[in-house]
Structure 1
Amino acid sequence: MYRLGLIGHPVNHSNSPDIHHFFLKQTNNNGTYRLFDLQAEELEEFLKNMRHSDLNGINVTVPYKERVIPFLDDLDEHAQKLNAVNTIKRKGNRLIGYNTDGEGYIESLNQTYPNFYNQINNQSILILGAGGAAKGIFYSLKSHAPKQLDVANRTISKASKMTNHYEHSQEMDLEYAEKQLDQYDLIIQTTNVGMEPNENELIISPKTIKENAIVSDIVYKPKRTLFLTEAERYGAHLMFGESMLWYQAAKSFNIWTGESVEHTIRI
């Protein structure tokens, strides 16, 4: 019997329980997946208690992906590089942190646009945003050596902390990026701009994208964000946020259970 869950604030909007209950059913395992909406001052006590609880593992969402780290015993390679955790596994009374965000995005890209994925070293990519999800996606894409991997953010200094780690990369502000979109084969929106209840927000206008570029938004509520809707008007191919959500969840599920479930996903 697996006991799993999600911590964050807020979490009541999350699709994770449905996803992991689906995985449990597909693998013929019994289990539950609960939502734990925590205030910041409750975080340390929750993780302390988790060491001696029946919880096998939890996911971590905003705003706690970095804040949980001091309360963990060890981190995997991805979590160390990113200084962010989205998955915790209890091993005895020890807590181990992982990060599956970037790997989940790469797998969703592979499943949605395999031809693009197989030629990624010839592609130019722009990431909008420089938060935790952006970092995970950046480092996973970097390992596939794209021709160009740029980052645009309101605060350029945050973007430069990422681009300094890849020679074919540059940072820029959002205003400049908006004018340069026709230079990119894949544009990835990684912020919460356009997320419910602010569906009418637009991080930048996609009107300068080149036709047949892929435009991706990791926001999954709504599924079709304003950014994606506008990009489609200008000839873009779309990649929806729920795809990344499912594949990063599949990798978390594998960490907890040892079960591979990517093949069960139908989006």
Structure 2
Amino acid sequence: MGSVGLLKKAAMVCVPLTSHSVEHMVGDMVRAKNEGADLVELRLDCLTAFQPARDLPTILCNKPLPILVVYRPKWDGGLYDGDEKSRQEALILAKELGAEYIDLELQVAFDMMEKHKLSQQNNCKIIVSCFVDKITSSKEDLSHLVTRMQSTGAHIIKLVTTATDITELSRIFHLLSHCQVPLIAYSTGERGLISQLLGPKFGGVLVYGSLEGSQVAGLPTLASLREAYGVEHIDADTKVFGLISKPVSHSKGPILHNPTFRHVGYNGVYVPMFVDDLKQFFNVYESPDFAGYSVGIPYKEAVMEFCDEVHPLAKAIGAVNTIVKRLSDGKLIGYNTDCEASITAIEDALKAQGLVNGEASFPSPLTGKQFVLVGAGGAGRALAFGAKSRGARVMVFDIDFDRAKSLAQAVSGQALSFEQLTTFRPEKGAVLANATPIGMHPNKNRIPVSKETLRDYSVVFDAVYTPRKTTLLADAEAAGAIIVSGVEMFLRQAVGQFNLFTGGKAPEEFMREIVLSKF
């Protein structure tokens, strides 16, 4: 690939290298190439005791793939705090030694472009970059900034921001779609992640990813960009789906949905969406490109008011975990795939162990059983309604007693205060279902009930699926109970979501293989 790669090709994947020694930097370039990078960004300011005349020939003679050279000064967020003239001379030397791209800060770009006639270069492309601390400025202000950057004569411009809210990223997408020269634009941090992943859809020329084990803060790994997100397949026609949640980093949805989209030939991408304000989110992302959502903690109940229509089962439960934007009119339709997913997972575990009532008149192995539910949020509501539909007797515990009472009343069950959970003794053969985040990574060692009572349950289900076998499930298994992982519920609800997202039939065995190998 020649030095015009960024000007011609669809989005490429770039790995920033912040190695401290020349030897490590050369080694990391080879690693990046082997892991699938298209080019590397060399942060010269991270090198210890860097001497341009000595070290640049070593680095550039050993480059196994195109390089982008950055020598960031402290006044622009970098580590270099030496003489400015020497810094600029090092960048020009890198250009002369064969670097495909060099990065100039906007503050020095006009002078350097003019002095060295850099806009007339063909062998080395100039990237003019600018970091904006907040994107709270208007679309117009950002457009003026981009125009100013273009006027330097840069071949490519780069704009990096910090996002305080996911809705601000729409301005980046707007810039990418309308820029007259190749543009690299993204926002850092968890709230900014979709700007990095969706850049190719809106015309961005570069996606940044970090090497496994040497993560650069706020960047997805190179492996996840290739394997989970398949960024090289994202184009203007790609439909965007995502998990609306807070927090969102725990989500395994991308490593399941994205390979499955590719497997069936559906042009879609599934991304984590850290959402702070549902109303603002739905107001901003109205485009049909944003085609559907999974809904996670803490929004499964609150999101209902933003749906134009809600499926009867989801309405009865009072919780939505899936939203699809109807093609004909753009209306948001809410569904609940958690309910059947969790209950069939528990039923199938009971059937597999032969723990059924044995009488033909009982349609479900849950019929007549005491069903002890911890957590009355969205997932808990789905479990409670599912259990009731199978004829189980539901007992509800929640840290918010009013919420527990409300759910218990809706399923003709009984609510008990959360404090009673440690002393509560279930009936022999009861079912326990945890629908709280207790036991989720990183607080893996907590369990929601008294360990001594686990031997009284025939089945223990945990909606938490990170880690796959939680402390609750490990303790329950040791006590002799059948255990059902939240991974099983996750898989089944995801199958339901995939069908709703695509209007097709999910390849269940393919999805199960992914879950078994990746979770």
What interval of TM-score do these two structures reach, taking the shorter chain for normalisation?
0.7 to 0.9
2:363 aligned with 1:128, yes or no? no
Pick closer, same or farther for the CA change 1:107–1:22 going to 2, 3 Å: farther
Which of the residues 222, 237, 247 maps onto 2:482? 237
2:397 aligned with 1:152, yes or no? yes
Which of the residues 58, 64, 77 maps onto 2:312? 77
The residue that corresponds to 2:342 in the other structure is 105
Q: Which region of structure 1 is more displaced relative to structure 2, 106-115 or 13-22?
A: 106-115
Q: Deviations over 1:33-86 (max 9, x none)?
A: 11221222xx32321243323122111112222333333211111332233221
Normalising by structure 1, we get a TM-score of 0.88
Q: Deviations over 1:195-244 (max 9, x none)?
A: 11111222222312346711111111112222122222211111111111
Q: Which region of structure 1 is more displaced relative to structure 2, 119-128 or 214-223?
A: 119-128
Q: What's the secondary structure of 1:93's corresponding residue?
A: coil
Structure 1 Cα separation of the partners of residues 369 and 378 of structure 2:
23
Larger radius of gyration: 2
CA RMSD between the two structures: 2.3
Q: How much has 1:26 moved relative to structure 2?
A: 4.4
Q: Which runs of 5+ in 2 are unaligned?
A: 1-237, 357-363
The residue that corresponds to 1:170 in the other structure is 414
Q: Which region of structure 1 is more displaced relative to structure 2, 17-26 or 223-232?
A: 17-26
Structure 1 Cα separation of the partners of residues 507 and 414 of structure 2:
33
Q: How much has 1:142 moved relative to structure 2?
A: 1.0
Q: What's the secondary structure of 1:172's corresponding residue?
A: strand
CA contact (8 A) 2:395 2:414 kept: yes
Pick closer, same or farther for the CA change 1:109–1:263 going to 2, 3 Å: farther
2:437 aligned with 1:192, yes or no? yes
The residue that corresponds to 2:493 in the other structure is 248
Q: After the TM superposition, which residues 1-267 of structure 1 pair with which residues of structure 2 at under 5 Å, given as runs? A: 2-40=239-277, 43-91=278-326, 92-114=329-351, 115-116=354-355, 118-146=364-392, 148-167=393-412, 169-177=413-421, 178-210=423-455, 213-261=458-506, 263-264=508-509, 265-266=512-513, 267=516
Q: How much has 1:17 moved relative to structure 2?
A: 0.8
Pick closer, same or farther for the CA change 1:29–1:262 going to 2, 3 Å: closer
**Letter of the 2:335 counterpart:** Y
CA contact (8 A) 1:182 1:208 kept: no
**Letter of the 1:181 counterpart:** P
CA contact (8 A) 1:202 1:227 kept: yes
Normalising by structure 2, we get a TM-score of 0.47
Q: Which region of structure 1 is more displaced relative to structure 2, 93-102 or 253-262?
A: 253-262
CA contact (8 A) 1:207 1:230 kept: no
Structure 1 Cα separation of the partners of residues 283 and 399 of structure 2:
37
Structure 1 Cα separation of the partners of residues 298 and 408 of structure 2:
23
Pick closer, same or farther for the CA change 1:163–1:63 going to 2, 3 Å: closer
Q: How much has 1:2 moved relative to structure 2?
A: 4.0
Identity across matched positions, percent: 29
Which of 1 and 2 has higher RCO (CA within 8 Å, sep 6+)?
A: 1
